[in-house]
Amino acid sequence: MNPTYRVPYTNFPAQYRGMEKEVLAAVEGVLATGSYILRDAVRELEKELAGFLKVKEVVGVGSGTDALFLPLYALGIKPGDEVITVSHTFVATIAVIAHCGATAVLADI
């Protein structure tokens, strides 16, 4: 059976069109000030996101790899520990587990 329809996973161009002016203004503001790292724009994003998520604090990080590593580090994951994760994942997931010295245990979902 060959379906004649396709459901797109996501439509980034359509999403962008809905917020293009706001995105461009934000990017231009950062570029105009040269405030790229740990500046007002980052603090404001963290504050707004914390409010949206109804949590006390949000910390912006430099990459998805950092975002995976920091919770493991905060939990005290160390050599000898096992971390269960999905087998269908990006290599960074396994890399951060190994970086902590732990063993990745892959679970098929």
Tell me, what's the pLDDT at 3? Answer: 66
Tell me, what's the pLDDT at 35? Answer: 81
CA distance 94 to 105: 9
The set of residues, in sequence order, having a beta carbon less than 8 Å from that of 67 and lying 6+ positions away, is 61
Tell me, what's the pLDDT at 66? Answer: 94
pLDDT band, very low/low/confident/very high, at 7 (cuts 50, 70, 90): confident
The set of residues, in sequence order, having a beta carbon less than 8 Å from that of 40 and lying 6+ positions away, is none
Helices and strands (H, E) in the chain, number of each type: 5, 2
pLDDT band, very low/low/confident/very high, at 86 (cuts 50, 70, 90): very high
Tell me, what's the pLDDT at 1? Answer: 59
Tell me, what's the pLDDT at 2? Answer: 65
